[in-house]
């Protein structure tokens, strides 16, 4: 038995392919010119064609806009002509394994496994059909003869006919020009009837155009005017790896959107993930300063994936992507800002918009701050008075001297900083905490609700962006509150009670506890007439929410 192995994404099939394969089937392999323009010495006729659909686990992206089942359906229709000539076709999906020099070997072994040993492909019984130089090199390394299909010059990389991707690009151009893709000349002349039938039956040309279309842009300002973007950008950079490590196991390839992407630090790591090589990655950022930094980095070539795109847009101004079109949404420290500045109803609006744009079975990964479950409990805070000055804590600075505010705040004791916090926190909203100073056993404590204590803990060290941070609330929802809101919006929360790190959960940032809270603040719970020291509260939450199938 002799086979043709035809690896490729097979996004489209062409008339050239039909004629080329028909010629080989009729004439046999002997004398056919290989990729080096040398005639094959193999005299056998072709018994079967093996269609290896690469990137079979990817769809809905620019490189892979057509789902695998539609690609298979087209191949089945396309190969009926060959079956009538006595040549069977075998179709196998090859999942993307990233850029690797062993991909050809992986493909051959994958086919052997999927065929349960029926097809053991070797250079003696198989000839590869391929026009992509980089892939040709991998199969030549294994000793396979290569039939070049459209490729006429391997060194100069010239082709004699449009390839499948040329048809896709022609459809995209027709959409950009407002034309009916069904009448596009390259498509009409070169697409095989099997592809035309499937594309027109399922309106796949519309899908290709939609995926390649840019979202509508609008120049929206940021939601706060008091943020120091240099500091903000540095914070994004320094925390990006930790955040990426937290979410990477939950990412689904395809179309990935990072809302509130900052300077693009997380997207840089996403673009370096070989498992996301075939994905389209979008960064949405409202703040002009950060958006401009993203575009500068893209122009500089900082992102390993060429399919990285940035848009300046306020996500709440309307949906950006089509319904059921996104595979992974990511939000990092965004939802608390929406709640703080625009309220719960706007947060619910965001959740509804994300839900509608997610494909069924796809995910929204949200990492943000969180409050404790027992946030209404009364606790007692012991504040350090020796780690800074305790006087002059309420000094005002005019707008022209805001650069001096940081050093002024950094010189305060924890105790004085609490007094300043209570003065500045949520002043416009008049959401002042109720507290009182009490003495027990000769020590002074702040008697306060745990939620308010957590608000102070979470903000006392953000002196670079003091006014911006103190306008925000961090601890309004506990983990169970977040879960309830997600479930009310239609999401299913992914959890793993056997191994909590495999799902949604509360998190304690031990670095913050050790470096910012320890030796500055102690928390106590009162039992009878005695105070008992309690653990520091949780700091963050990760919610992995799925849109059900």
- Helix/strand/coil (H/E/C) assignment for every residue in 174-227: HHHCCCCHHHCHHHHHHECHHHHHHHHHHCHHHHHHHHHCCCCCCCCCCCCCCC
Lowest mean pLDDT among 145-149, 270-274, 308-312, 331-335: 308-312
No. of H helices and E strands in the chain?
A: 20, 20
Residue 443 to residue 301: CA distance in whole angstroms:
58
Residue 225 to residue 234: CA distance in whole angstroms:
18
Lowest mean pLDDT among 126-135, 398-407, 439-448: 398-407
265 and 382 inside one domain: no
Q: Tell me whether residue 315 is in a domain.
A: yes
Last residue of a domain, one of 345, 369, 393: 369
Single pTM value for the model: 0.75
Last residue of a domain, one of 131, 162, 193: 162
Residue 451 to residue 84: CA distance in whole angstroms:
74
Q: Tell me whether residue 392 is in a domain.
A: yes
Model confidence over 52-88: pLDDT tens digits? 999 998 887 888 999 999 999 999 999 999 999 999 9
155 and 7 inside one domain: yes
525 and 417 inside one domain: yes
* Intra-chain end-to-end CA distance of the chain, in Å: 43
Q: Tell me whether residue 21 is in a domain.
A: yes
Residue 259 to residue 216: CA distance in whole angstroms:
15
Residue 384 structure tokens: 């350090």
Structure confidence at residue 471 as a pLDDT band (50, 70, 90): confident
Structure confidence at residue 233 as a pLDDT band (50, 70, 90): low
Number of domains in the chain: 3
The CATH number of whichever domain residue 53 belongs to comes to 3.40.50.620
407 and 358 inside one domain: no
352 and 387 inside one domain: no
Residue 54 to residue 62: CA distance in whole angstroms:
15
Q: What is the dihedral of CA 270, 336, 446, 505, to 10 degrees?
A: -50
Model confidence over 1-24: pLDDT tens digits? 999 999 999 999 999 999 999 999
Last residue of a domain, one of 124, 142, 162: 162
Structure confidence at residue 223 as a pLDDT band (50, 70, 90): very low
User: Where in the sequence is the domain holding 526, given as residue range(s)?
Assistant: 378-472+517-533
279 and 342 inside one domain: yes
261 and 383 inside one domain: no
Structure confidence at residue 99 as a pLDDT band (50, 70, 90): confident
Strand 48-54 versus strand 145-147 pairing type: unpaired
């Amino acid at each position: 038995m002799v086979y043709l192995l035809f690896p490729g994404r097979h996004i489209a099939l062409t008339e050239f392919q039909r004629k080329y394969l028909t010629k080989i089937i009729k004439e046999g392999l002997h004398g056919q010119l290989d990729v080096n323009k040398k005639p094959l010495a193999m005299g056998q006729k072709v018994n079967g064609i093996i269609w290896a659909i690469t990137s079979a686990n990817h769809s809905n992206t620019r490189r892979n806009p057509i789902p695998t089942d539609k690609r298979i359906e087209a191949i089945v229709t396309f190969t009926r002509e060959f079956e009538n000539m006595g040549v069977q076709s075998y179709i196998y999906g090859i999942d993307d394994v990233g850029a690797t020099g062993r991909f050809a070997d992986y493909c051959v072994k994958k086919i052997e496994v999927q065929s349960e040993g029926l097809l053991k492909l070797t250079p003696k019984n198989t000839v590869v059909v391929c026009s992509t130089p980089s892939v040709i090199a991998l199969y030549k390394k294994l000793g396979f003869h290569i039939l070049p299909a459209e490729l006429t010059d391997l060194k100069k990389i010239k082709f004699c006919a449009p390839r499948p991707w040329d048809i896709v690009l022609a459809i995209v151009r027709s959409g950009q020009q407002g034309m009916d893709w069904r009448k596009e000349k390259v498509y009409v002349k070169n697409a095989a009837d099997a592809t035309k039938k499937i594309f027109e039956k399922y309106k796949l040309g519309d899908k290709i155009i939609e995926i390649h279309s840019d979202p509508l842009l609008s120049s929206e300002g940021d939601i706060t005017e008091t943020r120091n973007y240099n500091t903000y950008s540095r914070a994004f950079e320094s925390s990006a790896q930790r955040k990426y490590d937290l979410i990477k196991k939950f990412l689904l390839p395809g179309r990935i959107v990072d809302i509130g992407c900052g300077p693009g630090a997380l997207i840089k790591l996403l673009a370096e993930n070989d498992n996301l090589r075939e994905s389209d990655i979008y960064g949405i950022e409202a703040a002009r300063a950060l958006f401009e930094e993203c575009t500068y980095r893209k122009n500089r070539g900082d992102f390993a994936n060429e399919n990285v795109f940035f848009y300046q847009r306020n996500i709440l101004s309307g949906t950006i992507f089509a319904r059921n079109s996104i595979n992974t949404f990511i939000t990092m420290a965004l939802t608390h800002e929406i709640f703080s500045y625009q309220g719960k109803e706007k947060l619910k609006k965001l959740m509804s918009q994300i839900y509608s744009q997610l494909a069924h079975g796809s995910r929204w990964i949200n990492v943000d701050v969180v409050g404790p479950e027992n946030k209404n409990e009364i606790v007692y805070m012991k504040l350090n008075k020796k780690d800074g000055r305790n006087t002059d804590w309420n000094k005002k600075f005019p707008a022209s001297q805001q650069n001096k505010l940081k050093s002024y705040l950094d010189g305060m004791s924890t105790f004085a900083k609490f007094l300043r916090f209570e003065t500045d926190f949520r002043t416009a909203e008049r959401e002042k905490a109720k507290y009182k100073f009490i003495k027990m056993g000769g020590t002074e404590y702040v008697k306060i609700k745990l939620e308010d204590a957590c608000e102070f803990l979470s903000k006392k060290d953000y002196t670079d962006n003091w006014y911006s941070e103190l306008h925000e609330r961090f601890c309004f929802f506990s983990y169970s509150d977040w879960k309830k809101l997600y479930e009310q919006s239609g999401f299913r929360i992914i959890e793993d009670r056997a191994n909590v790190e495999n799902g949604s959960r509360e998190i304690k940032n031990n670095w913050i506890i050790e470096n910012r809270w320890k030796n500055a603040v102690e928390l106590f719970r009162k039992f009878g007439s005695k105070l008992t020291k309690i653990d520091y509260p949780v700091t963050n939450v990760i919610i992995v929410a799925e849109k059900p199938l």
